[in-house]
Structure 1
Amino acid sequence: MADIGKFNELTIVEVVDHGLYLDGENLGNILLPQRYVTYQMKVGDKVNVFIYNDSEDRLVATTETPAAQVGEFAYLEVVGIRRNVGAFLDWGLSKDLLLPYREQGNLSLKEGDGVIVAIYVDEYTNRIVASARLHRHLQEDKPSYQPNDPVEVLIYGDSPLGYKAIVDKKFRGLLYHSETSDTLEEGDQFTGYVKRVRSGGKIDLRRDPAGYKRVGSLAEQIQEQLEEAGGRLPFNDKSSPESIRETFNCSKKAFKQAIGALYKQRVILITEDGIELVETD
């Protein structure tokens, strides 16, 4: 059975001028538009495609990969607002994903904002839509992770105990404050590790694998990297969150706090081009 909003392996049944028709089984024949067709594809072959609604609400197939499938969660950017309709989100496909007003809760979104959403098929319209009412969509089944398994972590809130997380785009998790020295924000994403799976299905997380210990504070790590790089690094408070995460394994907020502390201690200078160690006699 083929599923809307998910990847499916479908058989090519017909070649037409505007693409290929695929056997969508319970969904009928589905068009794979010409722009996704390669010369190797022929009738009888199976292709792995994502099924969704095009701008005219027809089911179509694509070889593009969305940020998440139906039943999963993602942190997406708002690329448009339509009055009395909702917000449109960039999820990596040619047609943007609708976040209806009724599914925004208390949010007041504008273009350029980031928002964490669940992706599901509306039972009344049969369209793929997003919802910011996350708890309605988090899976309650107990996952089968083992301690120290690596998982994809998406931070979506905090509590007195730690940071609320979505694990592998599906499950509910918690990263305790004692398990990270970073200050994390909604939308932060990284690879974490399972500490334990509780009887109710909630996952306790580690920031690092068991047995790994962070060396010093983030500020100390930045200072060490500066020394190893000859005293200069091309990062400052204007650097992208992605480049900071890749280099320093922390959020941009935590990085700014760390270099601010180093600046106040007169350890570094912050310039237009990055940060550099203060020369000492």
Structure 2
Amino acid sequence: MATQLYAGEITKLKVARKQEYGYFLTNGNEDVLLHKNEAVEQHDEGNEVEVFLYHDHEGRLSATETMPVVTLDSFSILKVVGVQPRLGVFVDIGIQKDMLLSKDDLPTERTRWPDVGDELYCGLKLDKKNRLFADLSNFEEIKELSTEASEDLKNKETEGVVYRFSDEGASVFTDDGYLAFLHNDEMKQNVRLGERVQVRVTFVREDGRINVSTRPLVKEARLEDADKLYQYMVDRGGKMPFTDKSDPEAIKREFNISKAAFKRAMGKLLKEKKVEQKDGYTFVL
């Protein structure tokens, strides 16, 4: 008995009839259109054709001979090709129609949404109405691809993609196959889902996972922060209303660094006699 056809299937169907604009394929119970733009070769009536089923822009079940890079039973890393704030983001699955990853599956904070060009680990799923959507890969799926890190990785640099968030930070899957955790305090700036980040390994855990940071080592950070503070003053007429005694929250809010980092950088500038502090201000000399 012929079964119902669903989006997301890869199946073989017979050519029921040819039209100027394509082919109607059937399983004996239901017909779908294989548009000529979706056919890789010409077919005759009665031919059997392997196709992938999806919904076109008008929501109609349609067929393509181009096979997607992901299916309902697999996942891959997909590029974000569009962002629609009311809907979500669109990813390229290898066919002419891009697939929607619903906003319901994206972070609540809009600033953490992927940008065009970012990369997401995704598969496909059907909702309750049998509509086809992109589906973010979960931790267990990513874990299957991972490898354990060795102790000698500490302080080494690597690169990877942010694949999920928690209250404490972001999870990153590195190009080397390591499961990495980037704590909020170790972010030089906020990161997005799907963003490719350069990280430094700060700790190798017993289970083979790693903790990472996007911040430089203390010595390098002191140089970088000192340059940033000096330029900040130059851009504002040679002074700023911040000193070693300023409120830590105000420093964090203005410069996105801790008070300890601020004092290290300021100490470098004072030692080099590039600045002086007086009456609650720091001045360029």
Q: Which has the higher helix share?
A: 2
TM-score by length of 1: 0.49
Larger radius of gyration: 2
